[in-house]
Amino acid sequence: MSMPRTLAAAAFGAVSLLALAGCSSAPADAEAPETAAEDYYPITVTDMAGNEVTIESAESVAITDNRFFQLAADWDLPISVAPRDLMSPENPLADDEEILNIGTHSEPDFEQIVAADPDLVINGYRFSGEENAQGVQDAAPDAAFVEMTGPEDQSVDEYVAESLTLMGEVFDRKDEAAALIEEFQAAVDGAKAAYDADSTVMGLITSGGEINYANPIDGRGSSIFFDLLDLTPALDAEGSENHTGDSVSLEALAGANADHLIVLDRDAAVGEGEVTPALDLINSSAALANVPAVTNESIYVFPADYYLTEDVFAYTTVLNGLADLFAQK
């Protein structure tokens, strides 16, 4: 039996936190990891904005960049304050009431950072704008401030490698960071090998029950993978970085005759009330019915929480999914 060519990725699973327990009768060397961590600081690193930052301690960490929330959970980092409203529901930190909640970047509660009094801040992405970044710094004036937003002209693979290397340096997890980079690069190579450059690809975003266009240069979601994999666009119309995509008529989208569709289902992550899944919207569209990607069921839907994560784990998941999609004949 042939495999169906429509791949709808499942939400990226959360990784359970490792519980560390000790007792008074434990041997002295059982405390070695904690002692080693204490001995690691102070260190000086260069952050993604090019600033030299000296970190005296990382016993209480504020983190605002959603691209590293899952990493914080996996590495069991001592997070004291974060915008938990921006976390994937699959992330165990999202429901951790011991972590003070900043809220969201649109209405941040900086007083929570003041209350947490962190000694290290990992800032970036939705909080990298001048007003929010300054608000975070003002709330924790004595904390080491590590900016995770890199230069605008930096490629995706460069950013992944450099940002993870930086996080490995900051938290003494260099080996773990290197392993994630290696896994990501292997996924890039696998998807490139599976892709036929003669086939065309279109990015879409479904939001508010509408099907919108995501341009291949800087459209939300799919543009990253056009860049990483050198995909051939089915439609090269101008667009924007708008988080809901750009309004292009369904007839124009259909006329591009894309061989593959890669779709960010924004409603799956932040939609309110009852929402229609992206795949249902596309398959029920009369205008798109004769598009090769639809008739051949060559549609990839991003993980449900991708809009909230956009991290190395999500990238790797998507790349592996695209490799499977492109490889199916």
Q: What is the pTM of this model?
A: 0.85
What domains, with CATH codes, occur in the chain?
A: 34-155 (3.40.50.1980), 193-327 (3.40.50.1980)
Query: What is the chain's pLDDT, residue by residue, as a tens digit (329 residues)?
Result: 334 444 444 333 333 333 333 333 444 444 434 434 668 999 999 999 999 999 999 999 999 999 999 999 999 999 999 999 999 999 999 999 999 999 999 999 999 999 999 999 999 999 998 999 999 999 999 999 999 999 989 999 999 999 999 999 999 999 999 999 999 999 999 999 999 999 999 999 998 888 999 999 988 899 999 999 999 999 977 654 444 456 688 999 999 999 999 999 988 876 565 778 899 999 999 999 999 999 999 999 999 999 899 999 999 999 999 999 999 85
* Cα–Cα distance, 156 to 133 (Å, whole number): 22
Q: Where are the beta strands (DSSP E) in the chain?
A: 7-8, 43-46, 52-55, 61-63, 79-82, 100-101, 120-123, 144-147, 200-207, 210-214, 232-233, 260-265, 299-301
Q: From residue 229, give the alpha-carbon distance in Å to each of 189, 223, 259, 262.
A: 8, 10, 16, 13
